[in-house]
Chains A and B, each alone.
Chain A
Amino acid sequence: MTLALEDVSRNYGPVQALRGVSLMLRPGEVHALMGENGAGKSTLIRLLAGLEQPNRGWVMIDGQPVVLARPEAAQAHGLRFIHQEMHVVPTLSVAENMHLHRPFPRRAGLINWRELRRRARVALDALGLDHIDPAVPMLRLGLGDRMLCRIATTLIGKDRARYIIMDEPTAALTGAESERLFAVIRDLRAQGVGVLYVSHRIAEVMALADRVTVLRDGARISSHVRGDTDQARLIHEMTGRDLSDLYPPRPAPPDTPPVLRIEGLRAGPLHDISLAVAPGEVLGLAGLAGAGRGELLRALVGAIPRKGNVTLAGTPLPPADPAAAWAAGVAYIPRERRVEGLMMLRPIVENVALPHLDRLARARLFLDRAAERRLLAQRGAEVRLKAGGPQALPVTLSGGNQQKVLFARAVGGAPRLLLLDEPTRGVDVGARHDLYRVIRALAAQGVAVILASSDLQEVIGLADRIVVLQGGRIAHLVRNEGLAEGDLLTMCYDRPAA
């Protein structure tokens, strides 16, 4: 009763994507597969999904070699795949979405809606998902709940999943959504399902996995059982470099008057936010999902309307006008880089130059393409962007390099205030290291940085001060001195004393 790869190799022309990789997934086990972008994780998943065939070696199920010639073959062997992007029909109900690939129950030839909802209910309850109503349209659910529905779907009926392969499932989830997913994964394990958990988030892998396999450059570097490794070692194995210090050193916080003043800000779920950020300071924003981290950044850049006074370097920042905010020296990197950040099919040079066109263009009107390319070359080098030239399209880049395009854009205009919303989501460790150094280097140049992240380690690793939001209000504002992740997590939940 196992799923295994035996000495599997796969090449694309001269590119060796997998080199003799072996791996075993047992029922009732969470097996984490780690590696940077390009390590071979995606190829391995594609082999299991029946989308590609190995050039050498075998996929083995229950000790027998099998050929997964088509996705249906993988399906028939009880393999299911959960990707970070959920394909749902938003306007159909949860129950309907859960039955898209199986017959709807019928009565007298007509769809038996009650039975349909009941089956969905049962599947959801089996994973403790009693907060999801099968009758509501899918669009009312957040990304996390959509993923949980998809997982519940794999357990419906006789052909229930034996092995679930999850590809970077938390890449797009909030902290709370991720926590819920982890609970469900533990439930799956208890029910005897084997989970192959592909991620490069070390903290969650350490918390979740019974077994960890690290890939690098297509080869298996190591396998560990729970408790037999640590963060520094995993980072080293994934990157081949010693990143024992993932976060750059933090110099003493600057003692300068604030450049950004926020007084009595209200926007969306936010109430009564007053803050001041000094040049050269990195302010971390922590809080549970829905606490308003992202909204605060969106309100500051003017992406959502706000009330209250916001001044940058003494000048009021007009509300609800991102163009004016950029012109005043605000740079913003949104949370969803593909949806809110990048023009995926426009060349990276255009992506980077976009907010700076007025300055780059001759007479503010006529494009100066040479100046745009110079900007990209200069800023791209600063953030260690690797792309095939200025005309490369973001769609062809890895997550880390896509994020670096956004960083190059953000620093392209010498900002006074840099707003970062989940800046390293779906970014591998090596690229994260690069981005952290960029953030610190900018702070050293006197940029005020506000960093919102669901990754508490990241907040602690980078911030000078940390604001903890609860329900749209500031619950804590602390200096980041000797804080542990647990302390910060507690601050996200507790009620502050008056």
Chain B
Amino acid sequence: MTLLRRSASLIGMVAIIVFFSVMKPATFPTLGNWLNISQQVSMLLVVSVAMTVVMAMGDFDLSVGAMASLAGVVAAVMFKAGFGMVPALGTALVVGVAAGVANGMLVSLAGILPFIATLATMTVLSGAAFIVSDGRTISGADIPAAFGDFARSGIAIGQDGTRVLRIPSLTIVALAVTAALWLVMEQTSYGRRLYAIGGNAEAARLAGVRVVALRLSAFVFTGAGAAIAGLMYASRVASANPIQGDGLMLTAIAAVFLGQSLTESGQPRVLATLAGVVVLGALDNGLTQMRVDSYVRQVLVGLIILLAVGASALARRRGRAG
């Protein structure tokens, strides 16, 4: 049953990609397009794999979108004030880590439900982003050219007609973050303990897992991941405004859920999340190429998430009953 559920989700995901490849054979299944998709989803990937860390413990972090926005405007405001790359980006990352620590303290020390705690910090961070940026988009001459150039750079790997094919720098950053978190979650005792907490927090505590400290620390990953994603976003559009990262949060949770439907016993895994992100990216890209209206696109994406997650939940329930 597990195998069937997993392969059903997998077949569905492959079917989506095959569908677009058949409908748009000239533009969808090309290396150039996939490199493009990889850049489009790079921010989402960073936030999603970071989200996987807390979701492995059975927690959530709703503040990631607001955090990404805040990181972008913090860096931009510091650029505007004349600071260089290192202090500006460093400060943004420190803010992300600090917000992560705050979330972790609220959830693990104060014992507030993650949903409520991070909903509150989301609101706080979002408000802070407006205060810092004075509610405006910061762009143009204030942003150093090197910052915006980073997102347009990449490693050249070939030629497609007149166009140079590059692995975008943002893609490389996202894959590096993914690889690092895969290592942390799948190959270290730290990650194993987080999964143990997700499996049964009380049992983990009684078996000598320091649940409070670990839970706190895990939220640092989402804080830092969101800040990195916010900076990537700002680099890509060479500007920052106080809402530009907000949409990442729901999509990231959706990507983790989509990935979960692929895994054994339905638990969040880093590589499964990567698959979820790829599918969401391909879906968005393919529907855009087919000129599906963006509102309709949103409805379709929502329905497909429901289908995948719902089917896996149903299959699991049936598997358990039988």
Contact of B209 (CB < 8 Å), options: A301, A303, A340, A354: A354
B136 on the A face (CB < 8 A): no
User: Are the C-beta atoms of A322 and B203 separated by less than 8 Å?
Assistant: no
User: Are the C-beta atoms of B207 and A355 separated by less than 8 Å?
Assistant: yes
Contact of A341 (CB < 8 Å), options: B190, B206, B209, B265: B206
Contact of A361 (CB < 8 Å), options: B189, B196, B267: B189
Distance to closest chain B CB from A477 (angstroms): 27
Distance to closest chain A CB from B179 (angstroms): 15
Q: Answer whether A367 and B199 are a contact pair too, CB < 8 Å, given A303-B206, A340-B206.
A: no
Complex CA gap A325/B209 in Å reads 11
Complex CA gap A326/B204 in Å reads 12
Q: Answer whether A354 and B188 are a contact pair too, CB < 8 Å, given A340-B202, A346-B196.
A: no
Q: Answer whether A322 and B199 are a contact pair too, CB < 8 Å, given A361-B188, A365-B190.
A: no
Proximity bits, A243-268, B CB within 8 Å = 1, else 0:
00000000000000000000000000
Contact of B203 (CB < 8 Å), options: A327, A343, A353, A367: A343
Distance to closest chain A CB from B5 (angstroms): 14
Q: Answer whether A354 and B204 are a contact pair too, CB < 8 Å, given A343-B199, A345-B267.
A: yes
User: Are the C-beta atoms of A346 and B202 separated by less than 8 Å?
Assistant: no
A236 on the B face (CB < 8 A): no
User: Are the C-beta atoms of A326 and B200 separated by less than 8 Å?
Assistant: no
Residue of B nearest to A359 (CB): B189
Q: Answer whether A334 and B199 are a contact pair too, CB < 8 Å, given A345-B267, A357-B193, A367-B192.
A: no
**Chain A interface extent, by class:** 20 to 34
Q: Answer whether A343 and B189 are a contact pair too, CB < 8 Å, given A334-B206, A355-B208, A409-B207.
A: no
Complex CA gap A64/B109 in Å reads 63
B159 on the A face (CB < 8 A): no
Residue of A nearest to B186 (CB): A367
Distance to closest chain A CB from B213 (angstroms): 9
Proximity bits, A396-418, B CB within 8 Å = 1, else 0:
00000000000001000000000
**Chain B interface extent, by class:** 20 to 34
B24 on the A face (CB < 8 A): no
User: Are the C-beta atoms of B196 and A350 separated by less than 8 Å?
Assistant: yes
Distance to closest chain A CB from B232 (angstroms): 28
Distance to closest chain B CB from A251 (angstroms): 31
Q: Give residues of chain A (311-356) contacting chain B, Cβ–Cβ below 8 Å.
A: 322-323, 325-327, 332, 334, 339-346, 350, 353-355
Complex CA gap A342/B204 in Å reads 8
Complex CA gap A358/B210 in Å reads 13
Complex CA gap A366/B189 in Å reads 6
Contact of A332 (CB < 8 Å), options: B187, B195, B206, B265: B206
Distance to closest chain A CB from B203 (angstroms): 5
User: Are the C-beta atoms of A357 and B189 separated by less than 8 Å?
Assistant: yes
User: Are the C-beta atoms of A367 and B195 separated by less than 8 Å?
Assistant: no
Complex CA gap A489/B196 in Å reads 40
Distance to closest chain B CB from A50 (angstroms): 15
Contact of A354 (CB < 8 Å), options: B186, B190, B208, B210: B208
Residues of B contacting A322 with CB < 8 Å?
205-208
A364 on the B face (CB < 8 A): yes
Complex CA gap A334/B200 in Å reads 13
A393 on the B face (CB < 8 A): yes
User: Are the C-beta atoms of B210 and A343 separated by less than 8 Å?
Assistant: no
User: Are the C-beta atoms of B195 and A342 separated by less than 8 Å?
Assistant: no
Q: Answer whether A393 and B192 are a contact pair too, CB < 8 Å, given A322-B207, A334-B206, A340-B203.
A: no
Give the interface SS of chain B, mostly helix, strand, loop or mixed.
helix
Contact of A343 (CB < 8 Å), options: B187, B188, B204, B208: B204
User: Are the C-beta atoms of B189 and A350 separated by less than 8 Å?
Assistant: no
Distance to closest chain A CB from B48 (angstroms): 22
Q: Give residues of chain B (181-224) contacting chain A, Cβ–Cβ below 8 Å.
A: 186-190, 192-193, 195-196, 199-200, 202-210
Residues of A contacting B186 with CB < 8 Å?
367
Residue of A nearest to B202 (CB): A340
Residue of B nearest to A326 (CB): B208
Q: Answer whether A366 and B208 are a contact pair too, CB < 8 Å, given A339-B202, A346-B199.
A: no
User: Are the C-beta atoms of A323 and B208 separated by less than 8 Å?
Assistant: yes
User: Are the C-beta atoms of A301 and B196 separated by less than 8 Å?
Assistant: no
Distance to closest chain B CB from A326 (angstroms): 4
Residues of B contacting A332 with CB < 8 Å?
206-207
User: Are the C-beta atoms of B208 and A345 separated by less than 8 Å?
Assistant: no
Residues of A contacting B195 with CB < 8 Å?
346, 350
Distance to closest chain B CB from A286 (angstroms): 23
User: Are the C-beta atoms of A365 and B188 separated by less than 8 Å?
Assistant: yes
User: Are the C-beta atoms of B203 and A341 separated by less than 8 Å?
Assistant: yes
Residue of A nearest to B183 (CB): A366
User: Are the C-beta atoms of A303 and B267 separated by less than 8 Å?
Assistant: no
User: Are the C-beta atoms of B187 and A366 separated by less than 8 Å?
Assistant: yes
Q: Answer whether A365 and B207 are a contact pair too, CB < 8 Å, given A342-B200, A344-B200, A345-B267.
A: no
Residues of B contacting A326 with CB < 8 Å?
207-208
Complex CA gap A121/B47 in Å reads 56
Residues of A contacting B204 with CB < 8 Å?
343, 354
Q: Give residues of chain B (206-255) contacting chain A, Cβ–Cβ below 8 Å.
A: 206-210
Contact of A367 (CB < 8 Å), options: B188, B196, B208: B188
Q: Answer whether A364 and B206 are a contact pair too, CB < 8 Å, given A343-B196, A346-B196.
A: no
Complex CA gap A358/B209 in Å reads 11
Question: Chain A CB within 10 Å — which of B192, B210, B265 has the most?
Answer: B192
Q: Give residues of chain B (158-197) contacting chain A, Cβ–Cβ below 8 Å.
A: 186-190, 192-193, 195-196
Residues of A contacting B200 with CB < 8 Å?
339, 342-344
Complex CA gap A346/B265 in Å reads 8
User: Are the C-beta atoms of A301 and B206 separated by less than 8 Å?
Assistant: yes
Distance to closest chain B CB from A375 (angstroms): 14
Residue of B nearest to A410 (CB): B207
Complex CA gap A356/B94 in Å reads 34
Residue of A nearest to B210 (CB): A323
Distance to closest chain B CB from A329 (angstroms): 11
Contact of A393 (CB < 8 Å), options: B187, B205, B210, B265: B265
Distance to closest chain B CB from A423 (angstroms): 14
Complex CA gap A366/B187 in Å reads 6
Residues of B contacting A303 with CB < 8 Å?
205-206
Residues of A contacting B192 with CB < 8 Å?
350, 353-354, 357, 367
Q: Answer whether A364 and B267 are a contact pair too, CB < 8 Å, given A327-B208, A343-B203, A355-B207.
A: no
Residues of B contacting A340 with CB < 8 Å?
202-203, 206
7 interchain pairs, CB-CB under 8 A: A332-B206, A334-B206, A340-B202, A343-B199, A346-B199, A358-B189, A366-B187
Minimum-distance CB pairs A-B, first 3? A343-B199, A326-B208, A357-B189
Can you name 18 extra interface pairs (CB under 8 A) apart from A326-B207, A334-B203, A340-B203? A303-B206, A322-B208, A323-B208, A325-B208, A327-B208, A334-B206, A343-B196, A344-B200, A353-B192, A354-B192, A354-B207, A355-B207, A355-B208, A360-B189, A361-B189, A365-B189, A366-B187, A367-B189
